[in-house]
Structure 1
Amino acid sequence: MAVKVEMAFTLIVALAALPHIVSTAAAASAENARDARIFELLDDDQDGSVSMTEFKNNQMLVFYILDHNKDLSLTADETFLQPDAFKSISGTDGKIDTLEFLDIVDSAFKQADTNHDGLLDRQEFVALLNRVRNR
């Protein structure tokens, strides 16, 4: 389940990643700016928190961006996951379909919502991104 939780955030982080980072200070600054921008994109109503609906709506955008051949499933070459992580999520058919992806999103949101208020604030969101990056 932990691998599934990481997938949704790994995909977001990978899509937003900068190709070259010059120094540690620059990296931290760029990472903070990138995290803030991702949070702003997810926070559709700009109320300072991300609801499950906002989270799911935007996660599907990530899914469709990744789904290069538009067959409504993700293959290993369409994701940024390590082969073993992809295999554990995709199951026997070797693909991640939209329902499997939504299950991942549900799990990721629930784990990130540490105060259980049904919303992700910026701190909860950044904490989850940091956990994903450090794995």
Structure 2
Amino acid sequence: MAAKARGAFPLIVALAALTHVAGTAAAASVETSRDARIFELLDDDQNGNVSMMEFKNNQMLVFYILDRNKDLALTVDETFLPADVFASIAGTGGKIDTLEFLDIVDSAFKQADTNQDGLLERQEFVTLLNRVRNR
């Protein structure tokens, strides 16, 4: 479980980003805009925070979007994760199934909620994404 918790940040970012953007000023602007859109999509009630319930309501949608071959398991190619990070999450099975995915997403939310108020503010979400991008 500790390995899964450590891998939660990269998985969430991989799920949210879905595309790779190069490190130029224009790309940074695109990244910022995309991050804002993702946050708005997660914030179902548009109150400026993402609750655990909002996060959980959207996690399976993200899983199904990523699961391109619809086998209910994510491979390294479907997550956009570096191979070593993926391996630490997937373990010996070589795939992340739906239950593993749900567990990882819960851990990621808790780790990103730095003020422990049960909500992800926009800055906590952006900090989470930036922290993983800069690994």
| Structure 2 gap segments, 5+ residues each | none
1:117 CA displacement:
0.7
Q: How does 1:1-135 map to 2 (within 5 A)?
A: 1-13=5-17, 15=18, 17-18=20-21, 23-24=24-25, 26-135=26-135
Aligned residues: 131
TM, length-normalised to structure 1: 0.88
CA distance in 1, matches of 2:85, 2:94: 12
CA distance in 2, matches of 1:76, 1:112: 23
Moved over 3 A (4+): none
Contact 2:39 2:122 in 1 (8 A): yes
Q: Identity of paired residues, percent?
A: 72
| Structure 1 gap segments, 5+ residues each | none
Classify the secondary structure of the residue corresponding to 1:28: helix
TM, length-normalised to structure 2: 0.88
CA distance in 2, matches of 1:90, 1:4: 11
CA distance in 1, matches of 2:14, 2:79: 9
| Paired letter, 1:28 | A
